[in-house]
Amino acid sequence: MKVLVTGGHGFLGRRLVGALLERGALTGPDGAEHEIERVVVSDIGSGETLPPADPRVEHRIGDFSAPGAAEALVDPDIGVVFHLAAVVSGEAEQNFDLGMRVNFQGSLRLLDAIRARGACPRLVFASSVAAYGGDMPGIIEDSTILTPQTSYGSQKAAVELLLNDYSRRGFVDGRALRLPTVVVRPGKANAAASSFASAVIREPLEGRAYACPVTGECEVWLLSPRRAVESFLHAANLPAETFGTSRAVALPGMTVTVREMVDTLRASAGDRVAARITFAPDPFIEKIVYGWATRFRPERALAMGFAPDADFPSVVEAFIEDDLGARIVA
């Protein structure tokens, strides 16, 4: 069986590809487990680091949202699709046309290419809790209506609706995961409004000063990269009837303030490392971030077998182990 990963050179995509290769098998459209014979990794650029070298991996460099690109990626042998490619939140807010072209129209082209092949693969879509917004209750329930207040969140919510309808029609077997902010992201900061939630841990640990664009009281709903990848794989293996008519689910996470993040950093790495953090609130970032939901009751996801991280210190420890080689710049 072939597996397609869009956005496969991103930090979650690389981890997912590595996990697929290590796992070696995945549940296919027929509900049976199949050996993974090929992983087609699509991304707009090669990135700083590619997924592990493996004869089962085929790299396709290019913009998946360009006319004809999705049709070239999809063939009847693809049994599972992981759709991670996207323009991130801050960039989608600053460049409406780019966000619409990639996040919405590109996803629609991918769905239409799958429909044209007629194979009905399982498709796991990386959605976002940015799909919530506006006048929200204190705790987001599974029944809370989506009222996104950013272009990024609106684009993600729109694709969720498409995924529901394409699944209802039998064109695809879709599963959308509303991801919390995934922390800690390695490498350079990107244009995501949530980038600070990783940078406030990553930059000091790597020996750099960091000016945080939100206050210490800012709350974030978080999930580690390890748990995010586990969630993608778990979603792909679940029977379609587990999702039923609603193909989107908000994943479990944890609510952490930036102040608590700094305190965890101090406990893990010492005062000298924590002292590299200063605060310089940015109104553009704050307007986006303070409009996001930060407290959830994800009963449906928990019942489906999705799991949160144990605590925030374990998230930081995982980053130090996975991405820093257990080395901190004191």
Q: How far apart are CA 300 and CA 249, in angstroms?
A: 7
Counts for the chain of helices (H) and strands (E), in that order: 14, 14
152 is catalytic: yes
Alpha helices in the chain (DSSP H): 11-23, 69-73, 89-94, 96-99, 107-117, 151-168, 195-205, 225-237, 240-243, 258-269, 271-274, 283-289, 299-303, 312-323
Active-site hit among 132, 152, 166, 210:
152
CA distances from 2 to 188, 191, 195, 279 (A): 31, 32, 33, 47
Q: How far apart are CA 234 and CA 319, in angstroms?
A: 22
Q: How far apart are CA 118 and CA 264, in angstroms?
A: 50
Q: How far apart are CA 67 and CA 204, in angstroms?
A: 42
**Catalytic residue ranges:** 152
